[in-house]
Structure formats: C-alpha cells, structure tokens
Amino acid sequence: MEDIATDLDSLPSITSGSKPSRVSSVNSVDDFLTFFQFPVHGLTLEQVKEALTFIDADCSRPEWLEIAAALKHQFASSQDDEAYAAFDEWSATGTKYEDEKDTAAVWRSFQEQAKGRRPVTIRSLLKRAVEGGWKGNLAQWAETVFYDRSRKEYLVLDGRENWFPVNESMLRRQCRVLGMQVKPPEGGGISAFDMFLFNLQTEKGVAYAGALAGHPKGPRTVNGSLILVTTAPSLMAPQQGDFPTLKALLNGMFGSDGDDQLTHFYGWLQNALRCLHARTRKPGQVLVIAGPAECGKSLLQTIITWMMGERESKPYAYMTGATDFNSELFAAEHLRLDDEQASTDMRARRAFGARVKELLFGHAQRMHAKNRDALTLDPIWRMTITLNEEPESLQVLPPLDESLEDKFIILRASKKPMPMPTGTTEQTAAFAATLRQELPAFIHWLMNEFVIPEALENDRCGIRHWHHPELLTAIRELSPQARLLSLIDKELFHARNIQPQWEGTADELEHELTGGQSGVCQEAAKLLHWNNACGTYLGRLAKDMPARIESARTPTVRKWIIHPPEADF
C-alpha cells in the first residue's frame, strides 16, 4: 500500500468537519472560494452515488484521493459510514482495486483542514461527474435559487442551509460546475444560463431577503410581496428534566418579594416562547428589570436571548427617534435595552413610549433600511429593559400614562449570591454552561407545566401587566405630573399660603405658575412648554391622588380644585 501521508499531501486540503465562518456576501473570487468551502445543501448520498457512476474508478491516485476527500467533507457529520461504503463500492469497480484495507486506511487518515488550505469539497466530485455526462443535481439546485430585486443579487444555499448572496459572475461559475451550459449554442441563440437568469428575475424575484424574527427559512408572501427568509432562529427543543441552578438564580433575583414577580416573569416568558415555537405573532409587554449592579439583570437578558433563538438587537436609537432606520431589528427575536446610554429627555421618553405601542402591539411593522424602500413585515419579537434602581435610571422609561401602563411589566431584582462560583473566568464559563444545559428542561416546564393563575390571565398578552409597588412609586415621583404638583405646593401653598384650597382652570394655574411674580416661573415654563400640558398633568394627578386634585366640570369649562399637602390626611 502506498504511503498515506504522501498521498494526502498531494491534495489541496482534506477535512472532516472544519468549516469557515459565514460571510455576508459573495462579490469577489476570494469570497466565492470561501463560500465554496461549505458542503452542498440538499445533496443526498444517493445522488452522489449516481454521480460516481459517471467517474472512472481507474483514475489517477491523486484524483482517487480527491473523490474520497470530497465524500468525507460532504457527509462526515451525518453519514460517514454510508459515505465510506459508497467510496469503497465505487473503488471496487476499477481494476486497480486490491482490497478494502487501502480505502479504509485512506478514509481513517483524513484530518481536520490544515490552516490556510481550502478543503476538497463535493463540488470537485460533481465537476468530474458532469464532465463524464452526469446532470442529475442541476434541476433540484436551480429550484433553490432566488433573485433579490433591491440589491440586484442572486441567492443560493450554503452548506449551513442559509441563503447566501452572490453576483452574476459567481452564479455563472456555480452553474458551470453543476453542468449548465453558460455559453450560447454554436449556431446562435440564448444560453441555458441566460434563460435561467431571466426566469429568476421575472418569476423568483423577492422584495426582501434576510432574516425575519421568529420565522423559518424559506420563501413566503407578506402583504402581497414575495420575500425570502434566509436564516432562522436557533430555538432549543423542550426536554423534560430539572433546572436547579436556573431555579436558584431566579428565586434569588425575584423570590424575596413573594410569588407575584416570579409568576409574572414566567407568564411573560411562556407567552413569548409559545409564540416563537408556534410562529405566531401576538402582543407582549415590555419586561423591565430594575435592580442593583451585579444582581444578574444582564445575565438574565442573555439567558432570554438563548431561549428565544440566539439573536438580539439594540433598538434604542430607533425607539427614541434618533434614527428612522430599523432594518437590523428585524433579524432578532430579542430587542434588548439597558440604561448605559439612555436619555432622560422627555421628548426621547415619549418617543420611546410611542415605539413600544408600534413595535409590540401593532399588527405589522414597517421595516426601513438605508437607501431602500420601506416594506411591511411581521416579525415575532419581545423587548426587555434592564436598569439600575436609582431614580435617575428609572427616568429613562416613558411616562406611564393610561395608554402605556398596561404595556409594561416592571420587576425588581435583588442581589443574592450566585448559585455557582463566578470569581474566575473559568468559573463564570462553567456557570454559563450549566445554565445553558438546563434551559431545555426549563423551556419544557414553562410551555407544558406552568399555569398562569386565572386571575392574572389576559387574552391579549397572556398575562396581565404588573408593576413593583416601590418602583412604581419612584417612577411616579419622577413623573412630570409629580413635578407639577411639587411646583404647585412650593408656589401656591408655601410661598403664598393660599387657603383652604386653590380653584381655577388649567390655563389660570399655568398663568399663576409661569407669571413674572412666580418664584417657580422658569421651572414651570420648561415643564409646561407644550399646549394643554397643564390640563393633561392635572388629569393624571386627579386619577392618582384624588384627595388632593379634583375636577369640577361646568357646562362651559373644566375647573380644578387643588388641596394643600396636609389635606391628604
């Protein structure tokens, strides 16, 4: 038997599994060759066995090794034994075949791809089969190709079964490898490749090609437009079992305030997971978690990302009106925010509240990428926010008026020791690995065993909204209506000592507070800068503090009765 190591060195590369990372597009020879390192999607072993019948088994030794390497690369991770049997059976049809020892030794000698060397892939085998007259795989492959009209690119499947953009010249090369005639006939006319391009552009053009949160890969029609979902979320399969480490983490974060917090967290997450696994769009509240530093807030957001498909996006700029472009959000099931760069500016907060209604409670969403026409799509996603519990951090949330209060679940996290050591990098990695291992059992429990109490059920979101009482008080104390009441007390009841109460319209109150004689005129003017702000804030105060603020409507005007602070008692 010839020296195996010498044989293997004669090949460009042989690999049993090493695969390059996916690149975003293919527009150069280097990109194209990187793309060609992947196995061919959808190619069955039976088709390859058919292709082998068009290749002479009495080929040269390097060519014979190339066939083996191509089979190994394509099927090592799924059908290694069957692929070896096909290789040995094909080899035995040649006169050079001695016994199985040679084929077995070569097959066992394949190692992972050498650094800097491209692997031999199944395309090498297919090219030889096409040269021998085989045409079996072309029609099946052609059905998977699409055309992106906005980017003027073609979309083909890579070895990870994701669609991959290539330009026309690269598509021509792949078609030629698979046996398509890319040149016009000698007598004139149109080539098979040109007809293929025409069909793609007229029949298989898509308005959008990319990831779409919560949806499986493949073509689908949304609002009358054909789109191609190119990648899908990696959802974990539920599996019955225990999750003691994760349970200890959650009990430590939320269990000290009774069952309300855990129940609402479980209910929110159950609704999110059921929507994703059923591929159904349904409204869901924003989950807000406020707590001290290093209590596990960010870790829990990461766990939610793992459970919801491994994809997250940062929507803050779009949520606050800093940009109108939002296409990156549509590729993630988890919209994740924190307060690291959040603004307490009231305009940004109000824009944030409006976006919450749009993104989480709207029927469909308008996707707008830069230099692209806007498109209406139907992502399935959820949003979480983590904050420190200091008052200035809570101010990044939008004012919780009547239209927004039911669209937030606000939980308070406690800082407790982690259920596993996290003092070193190795310990932190072990903790994360343990949590990931327990997630399938946790998902199974959430989706199949946890039951939302009947009193907390909500047809729209699955579970009713809930706000931690202490956090809600802190948020209200920071609200613009609370600031208005503070100015009223300071000017009317402390500086002027009006007794026993103040009565008048909202316009009259605004004049009192912003007039030149007022000691709070500058603060009041800044607070009441928009039309009817004073009346709006008084209405909210009347709802939250009826003992202090009363509405007295007459047939022609609404008046307000404001009692001094001691009237609360």
* Four-residue CA torsion sign, 65, 69, 75, 77: positive
CATH, residue 358: 3.40.50
* pLDDT recorded at residue 13: 38
In the chain, what percentage of residues exceed pLDDT 90? Answer: 57
Judgement on whether residues 92 and 59 belong to the same structural domain of the protein:
yes
Q: Where are the alpha helices (DSSP H) in 424-554?
A: 425-448, 469-477, 480-488, 506-514, 521-527, 533-544
pLDDT of 165 over the 50 cut: yes
Pairing of strands 286-290, 382-387: parallel
Domain count, the chain: 4
Domain boundary among 134, 151, 170: 134
Three-state DSSP class for 166?
strand
Judgement on whether residues 189 and 268 belong to the same structural domain of the protein:
no
Residue 217 lies in a domain: no
Domain boundary among 206, 228, 259: 206
Instruction: Report the alpha-carbon angle 441-446-447, nearest 5.
Output: 100
Residue 155 lies in a domain: yes
Number of helices followed by number of strands (H, E) in the chain: 22, 20
pLDDT of 410 over the 70 cut: yes
Copy the structure tokens of residue 312.
């997250």
pLDDT of 125 over the 50 cut: yes
Concatenating the DSSP letter of every residue in 238-250 gives P-----HHHHHHH
pTM (2 decimals)?
0.73
pLDDT of 196 over the 90 cut: yes
Residue 416 lies in a domain: yes
Residue 373 lies in a domain: yes
Copy the structure tokens of residue 59.
């080929």
Among residues 132, 129, 45, 60, the alpha carbon closest in space to that of 94 is found at: 60
Residue 432 lies in a domain: yes
Q: Residue 158 sits in which domain range? A: 138-206
Judgement on whether residues 143 and 95 belong to the same structural domain of the protein:
no
CB < 8 Å & 24+ apart, contacts of 534-540: 534/484, 534/506, 534/507, 534/509, 534/510, 535/506, 537/480, 537/481, 537/484, 538/481, 538/484, 538/506, 538/509, 540/401, 540/479, 540/481
Domain boundary among 134, 155, 182: 134
Judgement on whether residues 338 and 193 belong to the same structural domain of the protein:
no
Judgement on whether residues 270 and 375 belong to the same structural domain of the protein:
yes
Residue 2 lies in a domain: no
Give the tens place of pLDDT for each residue, 48-84.
898 899 999 999 999 999 999 999 888 887 788 999 9
CATH, residue 528: 1.10.10
Judgement on whether residues 290 and 439 belong to the same structural domain of the protein:
yes
Judge whether 130 and 175 are in contact, CB under 8 Å: no
Give the tens place of pLDDT for each residue, 206-254.
999 999 999 999 999 998 899 999 999 999 999 999 999 999 999 999 9
Residue of 38 and 404 predicted with greater confidence:
404
Judgement on whether residues 283 and 339 belong to the same structural domain of the protein:
yes
* pLDDT recorded at residue 42: 64
Helices 297-307, 244-254: crossing angle, 10 deg rounding: 130
Residue of 382 and 139 predicted with greater confidence:
382
Residues 115-125 have a mean pLDDT of: 73
Give 28's contacts (C-beta < 8 A, 6+ positions apart).
none
Q: Which residues make beta-bridge pairs with 408?
A: 286
CA distance 29 to 234: 30
Judgement on whether residues 557 and 453 belong to the same structural domain of the protein:
no
Judgement on whether residues 372 and 327 belong to the same structural domain of the protein:
yes
Judge whether 306 and 439 are in contact, CB under 8 Å: yes
Judgement on whether residues 310 and 443 belong to the same structural domain of the protein:
yes
Among residues 393, 392, 394, 391, the alpha carbon closest in space to that of 408 is found at: 394
